[in-house]
Amino acid sequence: MTKITVAGAGAFGSALAVALDMAGREVTLVGRNIDTFQTSRDNPRLKGVPIPDSITLTSELNVTQDDLLLLAVPMQAMSGYLEDTKPKPKAAIACSKGVDLATGRGPTAIINDLLDVPSAILTGPSFAADIARGLPTALVIATESDLGEELQEALSTDTLRLYLSHDPIGAELGGALKNVIAIACGICIGAGLGESARAALMTRGMAEMLRMAVAMGAKPETLAGLAGFGDLALTCTSEQSRNFKFGLSLGGKGPAPTATTEGRHTARAIVKLAEAKGVDMPIAKMVAGVVEEKLTLEQAVSMLLSRPLTKEWPYAYRADLHR
């Protein structure tokens, strides 16, 4: 049996480790904070779900060429983590959603640049608590390598259903960009602008996601699936989403979440990429402006509402249609 090592003992990495262990896989969970729950097996990042004794806990990454490595480290730390550890697994599967702020690269590009191993991304609509408790969840495993079906089989369980894609760019951009739209939706609800406004933001946000993804070489149909629309729907409508809760706090409702909120970094990175590609992304610009404290809430709302009236282009994702 292929050994599975999960690097990153946060909520999502721990949840994947628990789910795969329950399915009979040999799992190792690696994290800097492992010592805090090595004995109790109670990870504070995944409250209420003890880490089974059958999962090996360690602070040292040690993988072989026969192992699968799931990288559940924060997106902004992935490059440094791989440079420091230099692992050589059978395949490295990114489980982070976002765009590197320093380089504008997605997780599979970082893996391809730093490791000489097949890369993939595991993404889609999911909350860590649901996965850990064995609730039905569907994700996408996207890779350009010929290991796709093997990875799909190895990482699927009775309750964790994986769909195979050969468009990692589209899959990772869907997962990254929906966080930005989720922040916008959180701002909308936090500021009391209403459910109709949220629906508009989600719909126009989907149009932005399509434009940017296609400009980056992704397939538009990928954004219509779990990695795009599915993840957008979940993240923009639930307070379990860190990005949505962060947006709520920006809109004046409740405290900001203490856990990593990738969307705040992705918004800044994607605005730079959009400008370089000539892609119009007004919602992302609004979020970046609020996050960087360059726009007040009132200015942000005014910026979106004062845009010129135009036709609706729900499927305007061709390279020549950037608005």
Tell me whether residue 215 is annotated as binding.
no
Residue 228 is assigned to a ligand binding site: no
48 is in an annotated binding site: no
Tokens of 268: 């800044």
Is 262 annotated as a binding-site member?
yes
CB atoms near residue 194 (< 10 Å): 11
Continuous segment of H or E residues that includes residue 165: strand 160-165
11 is annotated as contributing to ligand binding: yes
Residue 28, phi then psi, degrees to nearest 5: -120, 135
> What distance in Å separates the CA atoms of residue 162 and residue 58, rounded to the nearest whole number?
27
Q: What is the SS3 assignment for 94?
A: strand
Distance of alpha carbon 126 from alpha carbon 231, whole angstroms? 7
243 is in an annotated binding site: yes
Q: Which amino acid is at 80?
A: G
Question: Is-contact 21 52, C-beta < 8 A?
Answer: yes
- Check the annotation: does 170 bind a ligand: no
Amino acid found at 269: A
Report the candidate in 5, 65, 68, 66 with the shortest Cα–Cα distance to residue 31: 5
Reply yes or no on whether 3 is catalytic. Answer: no
Q: Could you give the residue ranges of the DSSP H alpha helices within 191-305?
A: 195-215, 220-223, 231-235, 242-250, 262-277, 282-291, 297-305
* 80 annotated to a ligand binding site: no
Number of neighbouring beta carbons within 10 Å of residue 35: 10
d(CA 318, CA 277): 13
Q: Any binding-site annotation on 128?
A: yes
With H, G, I as helix, E, B as strand and everything else as coil, classify residue 323.
Answer: coil
Residue environment code for 41-53, b if the CB has 16+ CB neighbours within 10 A, otherwise e:
eebebbeebebee
Whether the CA torsion 114, 119, 220, 312 is positive or negative: it is negative
Edge-first strand order for the sheet with 26-30 is 56-58, 26-30, 3-7, 68-71, 91-94, 119-123, 137-142, 160-165
Find out whether 178 is annotated in a ligand binding site: yes
10 is in an annotated binding site: yes
**Options 47, 90, 178, 245, the catalytic residue:** 178
126 among the known binding-site residues? yes
Q: Is 43 annotated as a binding residue?
A: no
Catalytic residues: 178
Q: Which residues are annotated as a binding site for sn-glycerol 3-phosphate?
A: 97, 124, 126, 178, 231, 241-243
Task: Detail the residues annotated as belonging to a binding site.
Answer: 8-13, 32, 97, 124, 126, 128, 178, 231, 241-243, 262
Residues contributing to the annotated binding site for NADPH: 12, 32, 97, 128, 242, 262
Residues within the annotated binding site for NAD(+)?
8-13, 128, 242
Q: Detail the residues annotated as belonging to a binding site for substrate.
A: 97, 242-243
